[in-house]
Amino acid sequence: MPNPSMIPDRHLDLGCGTLPRNPYGRSSLYGIDLRSLPASAGITLAVADLCTEPVPFPDNFFGSISAFDYLEHMPRVLLNPSGSQVVFPFINLMSEIHRVLSPGGRFYALTPCYPSPAAFQDPTHVNIITPETHAYFCGDIPTASIYGFSGRFKLVRAEWAVHEDSRSARPLTWVQKARRLKKSIKGQLSHFLWELEKY
């Protein structure tokens, strides 16, 4: 088991927009977006198209990575630029997340999820996530390895979540738990939360 003191105190938020999130409260915050954004004090920003480009940071660099309302925008299948080969951008992104995470580092993702209409209503949602999608990337021999995934995650948690109560990785308060239960009973939960650990 990795020593927590050896995990880098750096966090990366994917598809960060102008407000990168930092659910673990790390001291160094990084963000990646498709477009160039104005500099922000204390935040290191990078530009990359993660559909076709690697995460532009070295191996084992981050203690944690987040993806808020991002994975659903990642295509599952594309042709390479020459049109000669099929590539799997979502699988490749998960490999890249694993690569730049330190052993023991956490991946925190919050995504609109099937069967909620929120998974489908935005026309840019091209990667429909289900409550079991994360399982393809977990275990000693992850199922996604047959598609080229080159990593292994351990499941910390996978659960339906209230979007506004899931900006932090901290445990829910009793008020937040009650709100989640109420929304669950009413069938109003639209987002699913993954927390995975690299091993």
The pLDDT tens digits of the residues spanning 27-40 come to 999 999 999 888 78
For residues 183 and 177, give the distance between their C-alpha atoms in angstroms, rounded to a whole number: 10
Global pTM value = 0.94
Structural domain boundaries in the chain: 8-198
Tell me, what's the pLDDT at 83? 84
For residues 33, 38, 57 and 105, what is the CA-based torsion angle, rounded to 10 degrees?
-70
Give pLDDT, residue 1: 60
CATH for 8-198 is 3.40.50.150
Q: Which residues of 133-169 are buried (b: 16+ CB within 10 A; e: fewer)?
A: bbbbbbeeebebbebebebbbeeeebeebbbebbeeb
Q: Please write the tens of the pLDDT for every residue from 119-174.
A: 999 999 999 999 999 999 999 999 999 999 999 999 999 999 999 999 999 999 99
Q: What angle do CA 191, 129, 114 make, to 5 degrees?
A: 65
Contact status, residue 21 vs residue 43, Cβ threshold 8 Å: no
Residue whose pair of structure tokens reads 């009793």 in the numeric block: 174
Considering the chain, what is the average pLDDT of its residues?
A: 95
**105 secondary structure, DSSP code:** E
Nearest to 161 by CA among 127, 188, 122, 198: 188
Residue 89's pLDDT band (boundaries 50, 70, 90)?
very high
The answer to whether the peptide bond before residue 38 is cis (omega within 30 degrees of 0) is no
Give tens-digit pLDDT for 39-73. Answer: 788 899 999 999 999 999 999 999 999 999 999 99
The predicted pLDDT at position 185 comes to 96
